[in-house]
Amino acid sequence: MDSQAFRKHGTEMVEYICKYMETLKDRRVTPSVEPGYLRHLIPSEAPYEPEEWGRIMQDVEDKIMPGVTHWQHPRFHAYFPAGNAYESILGDMLGDGIGCIGFSWAASPACTELETIVLDWLGKAIGLPDHFLALKEGSTGGGVIQTSASECVLVSMLAARAQALKRLMAKHPNSEESHLLCKLIAYCSKEAHSCVEKAAMISFVKLRILEPDENASLRGRILAEAMEEDEQQGLVPFFVSTTLGTTGSCAFDSLEEIGKEIQRFPCIWLHVDAAYAGNSFICPELKPLLKGIEYADSFNTNPNKWLLTNFDCSTLWVRDRIRLTSALVVDPLYLKHCYDDAAIDYRHWGVPLSRRFRSLKLWFVLRSYGISGLQNYIRRHIELAKRFEQHVLKDKRFEICNQVKLGLVCFRLKGNDKLNEKLLSTINESGKLHMVPASVNDKYIIRFCAVAQNASEDDIDYAWETIVDFANELLEKEQHDELSEIINRKKEDTLAKKRSFFVRMVSDPKIYNPAINKAGTPNMSLDVTSPVVGNSRNPIIRTQASTDRNTWISWPLAFLFNSNNDEGGAKSNVSLRFRHLDTNVRPTSSSRRNSGATSSPSPDNELGFINLKKSPIRQSTSPSPRKSH
């Protein structure tokens, strides 16, 4: 393509994007395609001969768009926002046009310097302490753009690990590094994003995942107790990842409490992951949410979530850039330059060598909107979330499940998890709205996030009306199903009565011979509402007749009845979790004999079932899979 053609197709592409954005609401939010749909539409080999531009663009509309989830759709309320302002798109376009690879200052000075300046701008606007700002007199810190929050957490953990190992090596000079590595232990809350667990996997360190309080907030005391306990076991606490604005329910760890508690631990690096919420701290009224930041060693937020900037743009600030880079420096001759000592080389601040000119788009956004414009945008989303919260509060069939501080509302139908799962899946299947679930206080909840850049009250009202329509339908159906169930149970009771009578007829002549039994048919109806007597370990169903005659159905059958009645896991011991496997499988001695599992026997389960129990604190030495976003 020459520049003549680029001009033409570039203009067409801008037109295509504008039209896409303007007509977005006419499309389904989520695609209705099955995995592998595209394989059937696109050849299995790349074309050998060049193809016409027009044909490629036609395929975009015909083949690609049907499989796109429209994150910018006004009915998209899942996850967190994905920034997409036109100013940012143009900034990215320019960066792509310049096409430099700014791994060092010398590789493209403007790329490095603009990043440093823009990160200082944003850091100041957020209200970070001066030591995080690269250009502040006497500061040792600074900011850098990473690809994702996950990467920010990872490089912070790597830096903390290097610092801790250095300290330990100085104390135990004859020890192997690998021996010291297995002593290191990191901490986060159960509500922290799965990227912390992934970072621990990559860093090869232990991670202890702690139970937050009833507001999903990690408290200082819980952390300090865990750290003390681990120290007594000979472990070395070295890293704490806190979250301001958790993914599940936008909860805030108690940073100030945590900061104070960890002062007693000399080796600790305190990281603050504020991927979504951090952007909102540009509003003065929200700065109290940042309380305790003075204790932090690093802080990250994603302007590509809530600051109108396109992915990728995840900003990380550190208190001490030398401590960060000393974990990541490699210095081959071909990358050296004569300003090595005088300038920042961002290749030492992260995993990749090559870096795009990402600061351009953030610079475009900050200048075009101004801090005041961005504050208005954040405030607008919060207002919309509050509006949605009010809708929920007015309908007594629903409940709110988080403290709505920013743009995320967590809600659910009062009732069991299954009901809410059904509600969400039918809404999502319809393609009218898109939301995702989370687990808050061990309950399945639905997350509603104000996402669209220009979302209006009408969008929020529409979303609520749609939710109510689906809920009405579902509850009506549930009522109908409940009624059918009662009728079925009645039928089953009658059948049970007849069967039981038949059994007795065969075995007890007093019953079938009216001459012997003047009392007639015994009342043998099964009390389905409260069938369990005895103790819960050895459930026994008592028939009505049993009260009089002392006849019992012993536990295997009772267990069967009981589990049949266990609709939707409502009475189940198994806690349903969104991402975290915070359950201990505790096979009892008999099931251990069968499975050879390593867990401890359960004293409260002698029947040999596998008992899944919620564990208040889980120490993850071999990290488990967690759902990520």
Which positions lie near ligand PLP, rule CB under 6 A?
A: 80, 148-150, 193, 195, 243, 246-247, 273, 275-276, 302, 314, 629
Nearest distance in Å: CB 503, ligand PLP: 60
Contact 152, 316 (CB under 8 A): yes
Longest Cα–Cα distance in the chain: 114
Q: Which is nearer to ligand PLP, 112 or 242 (CB)?
A: 242
Yes or no: say if 496 and 524 are a contact pair by the CB < 8 Å rule. yes
The answer for residues whose C-beta is within 8 angstroms of residue 112's C-beta and 6 or more apart is: 102, 104, 105, 343, 344, 345, 346
* Cβ 620 to ligand PLP shortest distance, Å: 17
Closest approach, Cβ 65 to ligand PLP, in A, equals 24
CA-atom Rg of the chain in angstroms: 30
CB of 151 to ligand PLP, least distance (A): 7
- From CA 193, how far away is CA 196, in angstroms rounded? 6
The string of DSSP letters for 175-211 reads: S-HHHHHTTEEEEEETTS-HHHHHHHHHHT-EEEEEP
Euclidean distance between CA atoms 126 and 432, whole angstroms: 36
Distance of closest approach, residue 279 Cβ to ligand PLP, in angstroms = 12
d(CA 243, CA 260): 16
Cα distances (Å, whole numbers) of residue 462 to 75, 413, 474:
9, 18, 18
To ligand PLP, the closest distance from the beta carbon of 624 in angstroms equals 18
Amino acid at 131: H
Q: Which is nearer to ligand PLP, 88 or 602 (CB)?
A: 88
Cβ 567 to ligand PLP shortest distance, Å: 33
Cβ at position 310, least distance to ligand PLP in Å: 13
Cβ closer to ligand PLP: 163 or 314?
314
Q: Which is nearer to ligand PLP, 108 or 300 (CB)?
A: 300
Q: Assign 3-class secondary structure to 95-140.
A: HHHHCCCCCCCCCCHHHHHHHHHHHHHHHHHHCCCHHHCCCCCCCC
Tally of CA atoms within 13 A in the half-sphere of 460 that contains its CB: 25
Contact (Cβ atoms closer than 8 angstroms) between residue 420 and residue 447: no
Q: Label the pairing between strands 269-273 and 206-210.
A: unpaired
Q: What are residue 207's phi and psi, to 5 degrees? A: -135, 125
Minimal distance, residue 129 CB to ligand PLP, in Å: 21
Least distance from ligand PLP to the Cβ atom of residue 488, Å? 44
Q: Whose Cβ is closer to ligand PLP: residue 302's or residue 359's?
A: 302
Closer by beta carbon to ligand PLP, 276 or else 444: 276
Nearer to ligand PLP, 250 or 419 (CB): 250
Q: Closer CB to ligand PLP, residue 189 or residue 602?
A: 189
The rounded distance, in Å, linking the Cα atoms of 388 and 384 is: 6
Closer of 165 and 195 to ligand PLP (Cβ)? 195
Tell me whether residue 217 or residue 605 sits nearer to ligand PLP (CB atom). 217
SS3 content of the chain, % helix, strand, coil (to 5): 50, 15, 40
From the CB of 407, what's the least distance to ligand PLP, in Å? 12
Pick 192 or 384: Cβ nearer ligand PLP: 192
Neighbours of 451 (CB within 10 A): 26
Q: Find the length of the chain.
A: 629
Measured from the CB atom, the residue of 163 and 246 that comes closer to ligand PLP is: 246
Q: Are strands 540-542 and 552-553 parallel, antiparallel or unpaired?
A: antiparallel
**Residue 573: both structure tokens together:** 């011991």
As measured in angstroms, the least distance from the Cβ of 385 to ligand PLP is 16
